[in-house]
């Protein structure tokens, strides 16, 4: 999925804009910068050890390789800007060894997609957000611990293998750490067991495919590591409170309404 570690690895000036409804995504990281702006509702964003509650016209500026997760408690509509460091070279060169003490900042309004059709408009928007962040907070040096690196390795393994059989014992063998130690450490960082996290990650990927592809539900289930459609349907309903088919239908309707609202703003 575009929200995970591989995005931004290309070393090019990449920019991606997305409208997201009721976003939930477990702990992850990527080389790209990410700015999440809440348009409606409320979202909880955890970045490293800090947790932020975002409401309308509030945003977070997530730096490369910062561990973060998103949770929607009731309802949220947000805009995500994911872009490579190369797109804001001057800012990146000035702060590449630092992270913000406070990732949260305010925006005057939520920009629409057609407001930045060119790379110059994109850079203008992003540098404006950079300036807002600089005016809002100070910065501290990046702290990389051995435990944090282990967590990153586990998350990368999951991202590469969630479509297949994937267990913590497989991870233990791959990164050569004790199984019991990894199990305890992973829970400390995520408040989830490895199995629970893997299931949520697969279901999050499945939700994305349901909304952004025309693949059959059975194909989505298979792509996301589920051997039987029955297991997938049961787990998905427990996660989203609706079946995969109803989830797709409901969100297609919501996206159409959201597009209409954007057009009349």
Q: What is the 3-state secondary structure (H, E, C) of 111-137?
A: CCHHHCCCHHHHHHHHHHHHHHHHHHC
Q: What is the pLDDT of residues 133-145, one digit of tens each?
A: 999 999 999 988 9
Q: Are residues 159 and 136 in the same domain?
A: no
- Examine residue 176 and state whether it is found in any structural domain, yes or no: yes
In terms of domains, do 20 and 132 share one?
A: yes
Asked, for residue 261, whether it belongs to a domain, the answer is no
Has residue 209 been placed in a domain?
yes
pLDDT-based confidence at residue 74 (cuts at 50, 70, 90): very high
pLDDT, position 11: 55
**Using CA of residue 74, residue 29, residue 39, residue 42, what is the dihedral sign?**
positive
> 118 with 72, same domain?
yes
Question: Is residue 95 pLDDT above 50, yes or no?
Answer: yes
61 lies in the same domain as 91 = yes
159 found inside a domain: yes
CATH at 237 = 1.10.10.60
Residue with tokens 């309707």: 253
User: Are 182 and 150 a contacting pair, CB within 8 Å?
Assistant: yes
Residue 77: domain span = 15-141
pLDDT band at 110 (very low <50, low <70, confident <90, very high): confident
For residues 133 and 163, membership in a common domain is answered with no
Does 100 map to a domain? yes
151 occurs within a structural domain: yes
**Residues 113 and 141 sit within 8 Å (Cβ to Cβ):** no
Residue 2 covered by a domain? no
Window from 101-105, 149-153, 184-188, 261-265 with minimum mean pLDDT = 261-265
Pairing of strands 25-28, 33-47: unpaired
- 97 with 118, same domain: the answer is yes
Q: If you average pLDDT over every residue of the chain, what do you get?
A: 90
Q: What is the pLDDT of residue 13?
A: 75
How far apart are alpha carbons 91 and 102 in whole angstroms?
17
pLDDT digits (tens, 9 = 90+) for 18-32: 889 899 999 999 999
pTM of the shown model: 0.85
Residue 257 has pLDDT above 70, yes or no: no
Q: Among residues 109, 141, 173, which one ends one of the domains? A: 141
pLDDT at 66: 96
| In a shared domain, residues 132 and 160 | no
Q: Among 97, 126, 141, which residue terminates a domain?
A: 141
pLDDT band at 4 (very low <50, low <70, confident <90, very high): very low
What lies within 8 Å, CB to CB, of 178 at 6+ separation is 172
pLDDT mean over 226-252: 94
Structural domains counted in the chain: 2
Residues 34 and 120 in one domain: yes
């Amino acid at each position: 999925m575009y929200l995970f570690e591989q995005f931004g690895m290309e070393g090019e000036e990449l920019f991606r804009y997305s409208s997201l409804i009721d976003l939930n995504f477990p702990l992850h990281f990527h080389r790209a910068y990410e700015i999440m702006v809440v348009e409606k509702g409320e979202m909880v964003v955890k970045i490293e050890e800090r947790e932020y509650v975002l409401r309308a016209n509030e945003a977070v500026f997530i730096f490369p390789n910062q561990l973060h997760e998103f949770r929607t408690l009731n309802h949220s509509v947000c805009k995500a800007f994911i872009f490579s460091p190369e797109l804001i070279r001057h800012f990146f060169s000035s702060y590449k060894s630092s992270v913000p003490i406070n990732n949260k900042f305010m925006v005057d309004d939520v920009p629409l997609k057609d407001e930045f059709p060119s790379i110059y408009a994109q850079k203008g928007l992003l540098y404006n957000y950079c300036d807002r962040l600089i005016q809002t907070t100070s910065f501290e040096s990046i702290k990389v611990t051995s435990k944090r690196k282990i967590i990153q390795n586990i998350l990368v393994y999951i991202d590469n293998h969630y479509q297949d059989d994937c267990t913590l014992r497989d991870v233990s063998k791959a990164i050569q750490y004790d199984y019991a130690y990894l199990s305890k450490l992973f829970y400390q960082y995520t408040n989830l067991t490895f199995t629970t996290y893997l299931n949520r990650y697969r279901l999050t990927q499945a939700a994305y495919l349901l909304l952004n592809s025309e693949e059959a539900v059975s194909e989505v289930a298979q792509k996301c590591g589920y051997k039987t459609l029955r297991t997938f349907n049961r787990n998905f309903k427990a996660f989203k409170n609706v079946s995969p088919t109803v989830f797709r239908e409901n969100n297609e309707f919501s996206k159409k309404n959201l597009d209409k609202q954007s057009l009349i703003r």
